[in-house]
Amino acid sequence: MGGLSCYIVSYDISDDKRLRKVYRTMKEFGVRMHYSVFRCDIARIDLTRLKGKLDGIINHEEDRIMIIDLGPVKGGIGQRLVFLGVRPDEEPVQEAIF
């Protein structure tokens, strides 16, 4: 098993009902960084589960989700994330709890 990797997930959902469902799903897997941007420190199997859940929520003709793989959490993620101004208060979750 490869351990935890850091993923940045950004979404643009056109319907308020689907937007709320995506937001609740994202809270299960990560920490909100900006309005519709989450940081998820999760195992690859959890990424697969996240994708499956999101795939079942969104309208593929209207909505968009972008997932960026920043690599292993142990690889110095803090050095790869650059903030100008105020940094987020919360530390990312270290494990997904299901």
- Whether 91 is in a domain gets the answer no
Q: Where residue 25 sits, what CATH number does that domain have?
A: 3.30.70.240
Contacts 24+ apart (CB under 8 A), 51-54: 53/25, 54/11, 54/22, 54/25
Mean pLDDT along residues 50-76:
94
pLDDT for the residue numbered 96 = 40
CA distance 86 to 36: 17
- Whether 92 is in a domain gets the answer no
Domain that includes residue 72, residue range: 5-80
- Whether 95 is in a domain gets the answer no
- Whether 87 is in a domain gets the answer no
- Whether 34 is in a domain gets the answer yes
- Whether 97 is in a domain gets the answer no
Burial class (CB within 10 angstroms; exposed 0-12, middle 13-18, buried 19+) of 46: buried
- Whether 23 is in a domain gets the answer yes
CA distance 39 to 30: 5
Assess contact for 41 and 5: CB atoms under 8 A: yes
- Whether 55 is in a domain gets the answer yes
Mean pLDDT along residues 25-41:
95
CA distance 85 to 37: 17
**Collapsed DSSP state (helix, strand, coil) of residue 73:** helix
pTM assigned to the model: 0.82
Structural domain total, the chain: 1
Average pLDDT over the chain, rounded to whole? 87
